Amino acid sequence: MAEKTTKTMRVLYICTSIQSKDMINIVLFGPPGAGKGTQSERLVNRYNLVHLSTGDIFRKNIKEATALGTLAKSFMDAGNLVPDEVTINMLKSELEAFPEAKGFIFDGFPRTSPQALALDEMLSEKEQSISCMLALEVEETELEKRLLGRAETSGRADDGDISIVRNRIEVYKRETAPVAEYYKGQNKFFAIDGIGELDEISNRLFSAIDTLA
Ligand code: AMP
């Protein structure tokens, strides 16, 4: 109970301490299967933000057989990260495509330290910054279960194969998890329990965001 209160107070402290000028820019963070896509949709509807999911954009490019899609496919099929330069350039042009946005939900980006630095640079060029990183926390066995279960409806080859799923989780631990330190260093990180009913998890995210100035 005491720990819960401290956690809530930390959200209040972190989010009210942000001098958000006019946009809310949220990094929704977490391992594959943590629920970033599902929760992003709910956040987008509630706060009228633009949802930028790098995984979705890559998949769209694969479907449309663009050069970017062809390049990304081999990395994605193996559960590895698409190279930074490619991903950063893609994100940059997506950002520029929404000049009127009230803010963004970054889902699946940044996934490496160079991506986090590049994102700060892109936003600072627009005199904006990241408001919060909200990190959905889910234990590994649950992630595997969710991804394998999701394969039946997502049709994603990278969800249905246990060795690819495990590689994605390992890549997350090795290359992506350290990105949290970058936001902790800026007092922008907050962990959200990603276990429970979907509505419960959404409410945890909403309460964190609602404290943004
Ligand atoms: P997701 O839909 O977020 O699970 O992403 C699916 C796949 O797309 C990942 O396993 C990576 O291969 C690729 N991908 C998505 N976002 C990024 C990123 N920010 N950096 C590198 N690769 C990415």
Q: How far is the CA of 191 from the centre of ligand 1 (A)?
A: 21
Mutate to test the pocket of ligand 1, among 82, 136, 150, 166 (most ligand atoms within 8 A of CB): 82
Residue 52 DSSP label:
E
* Peptide bond just before 32 cis, omega within 30 deg: no
pLDDT score, position 123: 96
pTM: 0.90
Tokens matching residue 39? 């929760």
Long-range contacts of 3-9 (CB under 8 A, 24+ apart): 7/191, 8/207
Q: How far is the CA of 142 from the centre of ligand 1 (A)?
A: 20
Q: How far is the CA of 80 from the centre of ligand 1 (A)?
A: 8
**Nearest alpha carbon to residue 209 among 134, 138, 109:** 134
pLDDT score, position 52: 98
CA atoms of 61 and 96, how far apart (whole Å): 18
- Ligand 1: residues whose CB is within 6 Å? 32, 54-55, 58, 75-76, 79-82, 87, 108-109, 111, 115, 158, 168
The strand ranges marked E within 1-131 are: 24-29, 50-53, 103-107
Mutate to test the pocket of ligand 1, among 54, 56, 115, 163 (most ligand atoms within 8 A of CB): 54
Report the range of poorest mean pLDDT among 5-9, 51-55, 89-93.
5-9
* Residues assigned a catalytic role: 36, 111, 150, 156, 168
Provide CATH code, domain 24-210. 3.40.50.300
Reported as a pLDDT band with limits 50, 70 and 90, residue 82 is very high
Query: For 191-212, what is each residue's pLDDT tens digit?
Result: 999 999 999 999 999 999 998 7
Reported as a pLDDT band with limits 50, 70 and 90, residue 80 is very high
Q: What is the mean pLDDT of the segment spanning 148-176?
A: 95
pLDDT score, position 8: 44
- Report whether pLDDT(72) > 90: yes
Long-range contacts of 196-205 (CB under 8 A, 24+ apart): 198/35, 198/38, 198/39, 198/42, 201/35, 201/39, 201/136, 202/39, 202/42, 202/43, 205/28, 205/39, 205/42, 205/43, 205/134
Q: What is the mean pLDDT of the segment spanning 55-65?
A: 97
